Amino acid sequence: MMWETAILVGLLFGGVCFLILQASFVRILFGFILLSNAANLFLLAMSGRPENRAAPVLVGPNGPMVDPLPQALILTAIVIGFGVIAYLVILLYRTFLDQRTANACELFDPHRERPKGDAS
Amino acid sequence: MTAVLLALPILLPLITALVSLLAGRRRSWRRWFVGASAVAQLGVALVLAHGAYGQPPQVLALGGWAAPYGIVLVVDLLAAIMLALGAITALAAILFGYAELSVHDEHPLRLSLVQFLVTGINLAFCTADLFNLFVAFEVMLIASYALLTLESDDWDIKQAFPYLALNLVGSTLFLVAAGLTYGMFGSLNFAQIAERADALVGTPQLNVLALLLLCVFGMKAGLFPLFYWLPNSYPILPSPVAALYAGMLTKVGVYVLLRIFGQVLPPDLPLPHLLMAWLAAATMIFGVLGAVSRNFIRGILSFHILSQIGYMVLAIGLFTPYALAAAIFYIVHHIIVKSTLFLVGGTVVVLNRTDDLAKTGRLWLVTPVLGVVFLLQALSLAGIPPLSGFWGKYMIIVEGLRQREWVLVFCALLAGVLTLLSMLKIWNGAFWASTAKEGVHIEDSRWRPMTAVAAGMTVLSLGIGFGAEFFLTVAHEAARQLLDRPAYINYLLGGGS
């Protein structure tokens, strides 16, 4: 399982790099959603090999269990990641409404003029 | 009794934030409440700092779960100094905000968010657990994202996007680094990591982990080449909030670099230390060049934060007890001076209705007091003796010469000269220029209390400059405590609490 997880995490991070570096807001957004998932999967891999180990539940057969701590960490990370992604969605949406573009290259074009009549 | 005191720097702002959220339309009540709470936080921080001097670190095991398994809060001298500085800056920013905006113009969420921000900052100073540090960073960052866009206009709001994007990437890398640390050491507790890391000295794994952590916290601190999020986003903040950001946010990154590299990771990491020193030199030069190229006050000051970060990180990169003491002293000086300069910038905006240097002017004629405040702080930033900035720069350069790092020393001196140049630019544009496009609105009496807050901070910075011996003794003691890793490990894990 270790190699499969490593390859998957690598692929996910590669996809993240590709998506975040795109100009379209929607792709950037998907990039960040994928990013938090890639990091969470990476954390999960820190539990060690899951083969021949039980879930970390105290009732049931005794024997080696997987390390439960990374799972607790992931739970926290998911909540935080969700909050930040929600903020990102709103920020990108407001930027789209205010600036009338959904393209990051256009947004930061230095030749773009501030619209007349806009509050300074 | 003292152990409970350790929770107050986190609990007080958190409770204040929550209660002031509930205050609704009772705006002036909220102001009094938050102001009183900021004063109380300063009191708690000073009591903690007083108790931390010459004593072993104070430990509070949250929920009664002792060190390696539970989460502990640890306040040693360095953390106490940072808490006190944070409380001073937050108090000044809040008072300045009261002076700048009438009670009806203030955004109802601003004070709550500032308190949430302070909660995150204080938790980052106190925690002794890597994952808890991650949570602290997130509390701080989420509050900072919200504050950044709360009062920005439709055009400037786009600057929040790079800030959010880079910090989001940084947080994810932090999560990965925390995961790797757990995978390598089987623990996230600072003391336990420190205990187990010694066995790995010289192995590539430890170097990779150190470089990853350098990348993460370097991004938070604004180290070259990861600083692009900072100089465009800070100018869109309202000036009191910008002063708090400028004073504290990047310094949290520097503090964590000090904590991680000085205490948690073993001292024999030549490669990461070398890289840190050279990146710091690049930060200094590029930061100050950026500052020289800007033509509005807050833009210049924002780039200056980076250049100054370079000095602190250079001191950490040199990595001798003397250099770490210099870094701590520099942080103390920098937080006060930098936030004051942002407050002066805010006052200029009120008087000239803009901070574009082509349109400002005549301030020296009209308000010499503000001019003196600016001059003292600007010269201190550039490192003119006997002001506070001189001592920090002097120590760092002396240590650089002792280590025979000629190029690094040259970069530091060059950045100092260019700092003076860009401060001169503000001085010429805002204070010395004989015309101001929209005149000087001296009848707008808000500038008096605003200048008073800035002047109070200036007195503090003068105190640091003239009382340098006391502050240097404290900084040396803090550095000694930081580098005494066996004592820290014993104290945290050996039932010291």
Which chain A residue shows the shortest CA-CA distance from B157? A95
User: CB B175 to CB A76 under 8 A?
Assistant: no
DSSP state of B264: I
Of chain A, the end-to-end C-alpha distance in Å amounts to 57
The more confident residue out of B494 and B215 is B215
Contact status, residue A9 vs residue A39, Cβ threshold 8 Å: no
Rounded mean pLDDT, B477-484 = 89
Rounded mean pLDDT, B234-257 = 90
Give the pTM: 0.92
Q: What is the mean pLDDT of chain B?
A: 88
Cα–Cα nearest to B90, from B125, B50, B53 = B125
Contact status, residue B120 vs residue B137, Cβ threshold 8 Å: yes
Tens-place pLDDT, residues A107-118: 888 887 776 654
**What's residue A109's pLDDT?**
82
Number of Cβ within a 10 Å radius of residue B442: 14
User: CB A70 to CB B155 under 8 A?
Assistant: no
Q: How confident is the model at residue A12 (pLDDT cuts 50, 70, 90)?
A: very high
What is the distance of C-alpha B155 from the center of its chain? 28
Q: Nearest Cβ partner of A39 from B146, B158, B176?
A: B176
Reply yes or no on whether the pLDDT at A32 is more than 90.
Answer: yes
Best to test chain A binding among B132, B138, B175 (most A CBs inside 10 Å): B175
CA B268 – CA B282 distance, rounded (Å): 23
Best to test chain B binding among A37, A98, A99 (most B CBs inside 10 Å): A98
Reply yes or no on whether the pLDDT at A119 is more than 50.
Answer: no
Reply yes or no on whether the pLDDT at B74 is more than 60.
Answer: yes
φ/ψ region of A41 (left if φ > 0, alpha if ψ in -120 to 50, else beta) reads: alpha
- Phi/psi at B359 (5° precision): -110, -10
Cα–Cα nearest to B250, from B303, B210, B299, B291 = B303
Q: Which two tokens stand for residue B445?
A: 């009496």
User: CB B131 to CB A76 under 8 A?
Assistant: yes
CA B189 – CA B489 distance, rounded (Å): 10
CA B144 – CA B113 distance, rounded (Å): 8
Coil, strand, or helix at residue B113? Answer: helix
Rounded mean pLDDT, B281-306 = 89
What is the distance of C-alpha B133 from the center of its chain? 16
Least confident of A44-58, B336-350, B398-412, B450-464: A44-58
**What's residue A116's pLDDT?**
61
Number of Cβ within a 10 Å radius of residue A66: 17
CA B405 – CA B121 distance, rounded (Å): 34
Nearest-CA distance A11 → chain B (Å): 15
**What's residue A60's pLDDT?**
66
Complex ipTM: 0.91
- Residues in A touching B134 (Cβ below 8 Å): 77
Tens-place pLDDT, residues B95-104: 998 888 887 8
CA B174 – CA A71 distance, rounded (Å): 17
Instruction: Return the bridge partners of B58, or none.
Output: B75
Which chain B residue shows the shortest CA-CA distance from A34? B172
- How distant, in Å, are the alpha carbons of B118, B146, B280 from that of B112? 10, 11, 35
Q: Which two tokens stand for residue A35?
A: 């990013």
Which chain B residue shows the shortest CA-CA distance from A21? B165
Nearest-CA distance A114 → chain B (Å): 7
User: CB B179 to CB A87 under 8 A?
Assistant: no
User: CB A99 to CB B169 under 8 A?
Assistant: no
CA A94 – CA A76 distance, rounded (Å): 28
Of chain B, the end-to-end C-alpha distance in Å amounts to 13
Reply yes or no on whether the pLDDT at A120 is more than 60.
Answer: no
% pLDDT > 70, chain B: 99
Rounded mean pLDDT, B241-252 = 91
Rounded mean pLDDT, B316-335 = 91
Reply yes or no on whether the pLDDT at B329 is more than 90.
Answer: yes
Q: How confident is the model at residue B2 (pLDDT cuts 50, 70, 90)?
A: low
Best to test chain A binding among B155, B205, B438 (most A CBs inside 10 Å): B155
Q: Which H or E run includes B72?
A: strand B72-75
Number of Cβ within a 10 Å radius of residue A27: 14
Tens-place pLDDT, residues A92-110: 999 888 888 888 888 888 8
* Spatial CB neighbours of B306, under 8 Å, sequence gap ≥ 6: B222, B224, B227, B230, B231, B250, B283, B286, B287, B290
- Residues in B touching A95 (Cβ below 8 Å): 157-158, 161
Which chain A residue shows the shortest CA-CA distance from B158? A95
Instruction: Return the bridge partners of A103, or none.
Output: A24
Which chain A residue shows the shortest CA-CA distance from B163? A88
Rounded mean pLDDT, B261-288 = 90
Q: Nearest Cβ partner of A69 from B141, B175, B182?
A: B182
User: CB A76 to CB B135 under 8 A?
Assistant: yes
Coil, strand, or helix at residue B356? Answer: strand
Contact status, residue B317 vs residue B217, Cβ threshold 8 Å: no
Cα–Cα nearest to B452, from B101, B95, B105 = B95
Reply yes or no on whether the pLDDT at B496 is more than 70.
Answer: no
CA B35 – CA A1 distance, rounded (Å): 56
CA B360 – CA A83 distance, rounded (Å): 41
Identify the contact set of chain A against chain B, taking CB-CB distances under 8 A: 20, 28, 32, 35-36, 38-40, 42-43, 45-46, 69-70, 73, 76-77, 80, 83-84, 87-88, 91-92, 94-95, 98-99, 104, 107-108, 114-115, 118-120
Nearest-CA distance A61 → chain B (Å): 25
**What are the DSSP calls for chain A, one per residue?**
-HHHHHHHHHHHHHHHHHHHTSSBHHHHHHHHHHHHHHHHHHHHHTT---TT-B-S-SSS--S-B--SHHHHHHHHHHHHHHHHHHHHHHHHHHHHHHHS--BHHHHT-TTPPPPTT---
Which chain A residue shows the shortest CA-CA distance from B152? A120
- The verdict on B228 touching A (C-beta cutoff 8 Å) is no
Least confident of A50-54, A70-74, B159-163: A50-54
